[in-house]
Amino acid sequence: MANLIWDHTVHYVNDLEDARQTFEKQGITAFRGGSHKQWGTYNVLSYFGLTYLEFLGVENRQLAESITEPNQVVKDAVKCLPDHEGFSRVALRTDNIEAIREQLIEHQIDVSPIMEGKRYNAQNQLIEWKMMTIAGDFQGLPYPFVIEWLVTDQERYKQLREAGIISEHPLGDLSMSEAVFYVPDPKAMVDHWSMIFPIEKKNATCLTLEDKVFVFKQATKAQLSELVINSPETKLIEMNGATYRLRSTK
């Protein structure tokens, strides 16, 4: 059976350089990722092992507004920006995107066709992947989207290490630990996501993805609330409509 791993999280921002500098001032490395030429978006990335953060902005609004592909990440970026910066969706990584799509269709989930993704990095190298997005929501919370890279995790990690993209941050050893979601009914959300995706329940309000956790808390408004990062020191970073909680591992 295909498995799912927390690949990355999208954070919509208007000013990529401001977001990058904010992270840098906190001792967290972030760098220009590149442009999605077919979608009109561009990004800044920050890696915590293979789980990373994507600051995503609209580079070419006319193009982004005109895409015909059912890419909900881009469509939502157009809707949200410039007025509403903040977290968007989490991306789940798999080694068999076709099998995941078939499972979602069996549960009558409105999943897109599998799309070819690509961007050019700062060195003008082509980065490619497959992806699919899911329309709609459950309890007001947008669904994750699913991505499959064209190389194995081991190959990708080696490439990113050798390129210096994955390295220790100035603040020290950092690792992504939790995504905290607010939803009206946490138990129902956990039941639903664990039914339609091959994700393990940790308990009634948490899902486990290898060594990482999705935590669901009760609130009226559904949203991805914060990311928790294991860190040598404790601090709270609030920026561009999102919250990052660095939690000391000492």
Q: Do the Cβ atoms of 50 and 156 come closer than 8 Å?
A: yes
Tokens of 167: 């390295």
What was the pLDDT predicted at 48? 97
What was the pLDDT predicted at 1? 58
What was the pLDDT predicted at 57? 98
- Structurally, at CATH architecture level, domain 5-248 sits in Roll (3.10)
Q: Which amino acid is at 192?
A: H
Tokens of 70: 């059912």
Quick one: 134 exposed, middle or buried, by C-beta within 10 A (0-12, 13-18, 19+)? buried
What was the pLDDT predicted at 242? 97
Mean pLDDT by 10 residues, the chain (250 residues): 91 97 97 92 96 98 96 96 97 97 97 92 82 97 97 92 91 97 98 97 96 97 97 95 93
SS3 content of the chain, % helix, strand, coil (to 5): 20, 45, 35
Number of H helices, E strands in the chain: 6, 17
The domains of the chain are located at: 5-248
What was the pLDDT predicted at 125? 76
**SS3 category, 64:** helix
Residue whose C-alpha is closest to residue 199's, from 111, 109, 104, 88:
104
What was the pLDDT predicted at 250? 72
